[in-house]
Structure 1
Amino acid sequence: MGRPVLAGVDGSEHSLAAADWAAREAVLRGVPLRLLHASPPLPGDAVPAPARERLHQLGEHVLQQVIADLGARHPDLRVRGEQTAEAPAVALLAAAHCAGLLVVGARGTGGFAGLTVGSVALRMTAAADCPLVVVPEPQVGGFGNGMRRHDADAQVVMGFDAHRPVGEVADFAFAAAEARDVLLRAVQAWALPAEAVAAGTLFVTEEDRATWEDQEVLRLSDALHKWRETYPEVTVRTDVVLLHPAQALLNASRGAGLLVVGRRTGPQRGEGRLGPVTHAVLHHSSCPVAVVPYAE
């Protein structure tokens, strides 16, 4: 049996949307779903016992309600819930060591109206050692209690750089597209080469631009060849666009079911650091964003 899907829940609409997404993902993968409720920190060093007990009761109520709701809609789902007195970020990071995927809402009960991604989601994205999916704000009129539809029938979009291919990102995206039986759209943003913008260059001809673009298209196709062989059932569409990578991915992922990007790890990348492209798509994507860690 594979590692479980882990989701943090706190009773907020965002966490309920994340739990719904995680439940459907667990069914697709054929693995259990683990729900974790972490009590919010209280001010002061000494918390009265009645307050602790009340928080425990509220957390248990949230978990049982979510488990009952998910179980009714996903009869084949194996789900269990647990509570912890640790802070949400600490608890989720520890639990993620044993998970195959961590799913969180873009923000929880804290934050304020207009905040797109909360502090816990940002920390999870920057520090979790397993792939993570951030589920955006639930759509109005969505699936049950404001939950967002899983969009299992929508395409998967992958950010990919053929100059520096990342196997972990490609494996995740191809497997997601295969499980959903949907199109995989591989997007590569490119920039004009240095000679095109040198001081002595007056203008770039359409012929030169077409030549450089053709080279990028061929390079991307070649880089994806081994994954096409490994996942022959996945239909792949390649897009090479002359845009900033974040804008290219946001454009491509409108209406998508999942956007997949990478996050570099290693001693040179301190905890809590996200690259500018990942940071931008997290804050502006309208679909769930999968962030896959990989070693530099």
Structure 2
Amino acid sequence: MSGPVVAGVDGSRRSLTAAEWAAREAARRGVALRLVHACPPLPLRVSPVPGVDAWQNVGEQMLGQTVADFRARLPELAIDGEHTATEPAEALLTAAASAGLLVVGVRGWGGFEGLAVGSVALRVAAMADCPVVTVPDERRTGAEWDGTDADEVQLGFDAHAPAEAPTAFAFRAAQERGVPLRVVHAWALPPASPSAWMLTVLEEDRAMWEDQESQVVSDALRPWREGCPEVTVVPDVVLLNPAEALVKASERADLLVIGRRTATRPTQLRLGPVAHAVLHHARCPVAVVPHPGP
């Protein structure tokens, strides 16, 4: 995780908000910030139109001005820019190969009003070699978000199959920010039991199952607590669908960390249903951390 923090910029307000978040993260880590702008060439049938060369230079000028603005405000941070004539997702995936972290806005100039997450953000979150953070331009409660930090990091955690990379990322994020780490473990009633949404479940049975889940979480977290005792860990065991539990958790988080299983075949390069739902509905920045898995 010693590589630079890379942020994609296209001049939109959303991308600049993401770049601001990336700059703070680079400063925390003590690494460089790289701003990447991708401007694919126009189709050949358009190229003969007068003024095309000037239009293609607009992206370079925007990137240069953005880098200059960031350097002026953050002189202690090493900042550089990279302009490339490729598709945005391809450019960011290439940059991710040598990055410690890739940061993107949930949307750029494309899409339409009401679209939660753009295609570039979804593609890089599903395919990047490094962790990817998607940054919303506002808290999706409707209130403007100024990019300042909340008071805890949240981790989506499956205590029955804990993933090392997302857990390590979340502990480090909480440690660097000096905030608690809330570990969200969603659980369901045993398959043979009546549904909690259809029939009444005896309170003592529900409490017993919840105690069992809490013990599993405690056991799974013990090595991490011992290895990082300065981080205050708050287990949060909830009887909810995982996606719903994580979206609710995002309402009070500075950062929500979730995992993504790395693919063994190209056809598997996609986000799972929980990650997909979280990216579309979370109310805070979301870190998608790749990890080995079935």
TM-score in terms of structure 2 length: 0.91
Query: What is aligned with 1:285?
Result: 282
Determine what percentage of the aligned residue pairs are the same residue: 58
CA distance in 1: counterparts of 2:83 and 2:54, whole angstroms: 13
2:61 is aligned with 1:64: no
Q: Is the 8 A contact 1:156 1:257 kept in 2?
A: yes
Other structure's SS at 1:254 match: helix
Q: Is the 8 A contact 1:13 1:138 kept in 2?
A: no
Letter in 2 for 1:9: V
Query: What is aligned with 1:119?
Result: 119
Q: Is the 8 A contact 1:116 1:283 kept in 2?
A: yes
Correspondence 1:242-253 to 2 at 5 A: 242-253=239-250
Correspondence 1:1-296 to 2 at 5 A: 2-40=2-40, 42-44=42-44, 47-48=47-48, 51=51, 53-138=53-138, 148-151=146-149, 153-197=150-194, 203-267=200-264, 270-296=267-293
Q: Is the 8 A contact 1:127 1:271 kept in 2?
A: no
CA distance in 1: counterparts of 2:58 and 2:127, whole angstroms: 28
CA distance in 2: counterparts of 1:55 and 1:46, whole angstroms: 12
Other structure's SS at 2:189 match: coil
Pairwise CA distance, 1:23 = 0.5
Pairwise CA distance, 1:194 = 1.9
Letter in 1 for 2:217: L
Letter in 1 for 2:28: L
Length, aligned pairs only? 289
CA distance in 2: counterparts of 1:101 and 1:26, whole angstroms: 9
Letter in 1 for 2:34: R
- Cα 1:236–1:203 shift into 2, 3 Å: same
- Cα 1:245–1:41 shift into 2, 3 Å: farther
CA distance in 2: counterparts of 1:68 and 1:141, whole angstroms: 30
Q: CA RMSD, aligned part only?
A: 2.3
Letter in 2 for 1:133: V
